[in-house]
């Protein structure tokens, strides 16, 4: 097979640019101290309901208008089903799944997290407007996926 001289030149330039890009990326990663997020927390998904904090599901008051909602995602549902907080409440959601990958999304907010079996996920949001907020699973989790929901009631 014969490759034209100009094709060889452009092929060499392309490979050199790729090597340069990967070298710069690798050096900058180490220079800036980039690393995956720390604080990785895993539990046994089969024993999630026996493991703290998931052995005590629900809303806990942490401070002045600050709460933690410990929730469990399972086949086509969340536990607890309803959470009530006052307007202006800052809620830290602590989540895990017992079976398959689920989603945890609250429309009209920036809350959107993947809930993986055995992995403990955290997301925080401040609810500034009263009303009902729907919690939806946005990861297909099986035949009853469309009925998987819970709600947050923000009282004024």
CB 149 within 8 A of CB 136: yes
Residue 7 is given by DSSP the state H
DSSP output for 14-83: HHHHHHHHHHHHHHHHHHTT----S---B--GGGGGGSTTTTS-EEEEEETTEEEEEEEEETTEEESSEE
Catalytic, out of 30, 32, 54, 74:
74
127 given a catalytic annotation? no
SS3 content of the chain, % helix, strand, coil (to 5): 25, 40, 35
76 given a catalytic annotation? yes
Omega of the bond leading into 53 within 30 degrees of 0 (cis) = yes
Catalytic, out of 30, 32, 76, 93:
76
Q: Which residues are the active-site residues?
A: 74, 76
């Amino acid at each position: 097979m014969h490759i034209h001289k100009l094709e060889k030149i452009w092929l060499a330039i392309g490979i050199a640019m790729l090597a340069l890009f990967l070298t710069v990326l690798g050096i900058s990663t180490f220079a800036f101290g980039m690393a995956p997020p720390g604080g990785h927390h895993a539990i046994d998904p089969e024993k999630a309901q026996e493991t703290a904090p998931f052995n005590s599901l629900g809303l806990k008051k942490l401070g002045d208008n600050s709460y933690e909602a410990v929730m469990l995602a399972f086949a086509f549902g969340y536990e607890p089903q309803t959470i009530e907080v006052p307007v202006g409440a800052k809620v830290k959601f602590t989540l895990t799944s017992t079976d398959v990958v689920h989603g945890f999304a609250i429309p009209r907010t920036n809350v959107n997290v993947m809930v993986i079996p055995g992995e403990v996920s955290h997301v925080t949001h401040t609810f500034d407007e009263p009303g009902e907020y729907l919690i939806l699973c946005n990861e297909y989790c099986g035949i009853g996926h469309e009925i998987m929901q819970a709600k947050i009631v923000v009282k004024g």
